[in-house]
Every structure is written in structure tokens, then in C-alpha cells.
Amino acid sequence: MGGKYGDELCPRYQRAIDIIGKRWTCLILRVLLAGPRRFGYIEDVVAGLSARMLSERLKELEACGIVERRVYPETPVRIEYMLTEKGRGLQRALDELQRWADRWECSENRPTASAAASGQQSPT
């Protein structure tokens, strides 16, 4: 079988999901899409994310080449995290996920099941 949506999954797809499918990862990436950010800023913006978990996720993303950690030799030392080209390559996928969430999950005016089935949009 195989094919684009066949029974066998591509190992590269599985690896991608293993990377970005972890809790907090997409939220961190979403914050970094706006540009370089400091650790404390990311921690403040992502509600419920602990410093320990943020540190772990940033290290994982850095090891995968998705995030770059840049240290500025100032006093005090300034450290920023930014997306690499590989990380910025996720923007379209994350934007599509945001559009899906806006339509199906985040809106108080979510379309009803019958409206969604007929392709109607809910009023905004």
C-alpha cells in the first residue's frame, strides 16, 4: 500500500512528530516565530510552563538544529533564543495549525457540527 496517506508512515514524519509533538514545544516555537527572545520572556508568555521544562525543551530544539542559543558577552550576560532556518521552516505548519485552532477550538463562536459539515463559517 504505502502512498501519501497509506498505512505505512514515513520515518522522517515520525521523527518530526517526535520533535514538535512534545508538550510545550509548539507554544515555544510560536513565541520564537516573532523573533529572538530571552528565557524569562518565553517563561512568562507560556502559561504553566516551568523553567525546568522550558530549559529541557530549548535544549532539545537546539540539539535538533531548530533553535539557536546566542550568548552576548555583556554585563550582565544576555542570552537569547531564536529560530534557525530549519525552525523558521515550521512557520507555515504552525500558521495552519493556528487557523485550524481558530476555526475549531479557540473561538467561542465555534461552528456547530451541522454548520461545519455544510462548510458554513460561524459569524465573527
Residue 121 domain-assigned (yes or no): no
In a domain, 49, yes or no: yes
Residue 124 has pLDDT above 90, yes or no: no
What per-residue confidence (pLDDT) applies to 116? 46
92 occurs within a structural domain: yes
Return the CATH number at 19: 1.10.10.10
Asked whether 28 and 99 are in contact (CB, 8 A), the reply is: no
- Does 88 fall in a domain? yes
Query: To the nearest whole percent, how much of the chain has pLDDT over 70?
Result: 79
Prediction pTM value: 0.77
Which residue segment(s) compose the domain that 19 sits in?
Answer: 11-107
Mean pLDDT within 115-122: 47
Domain membership flag for residue 4: no
Report yes or no on 46 lying in a domain.
yes
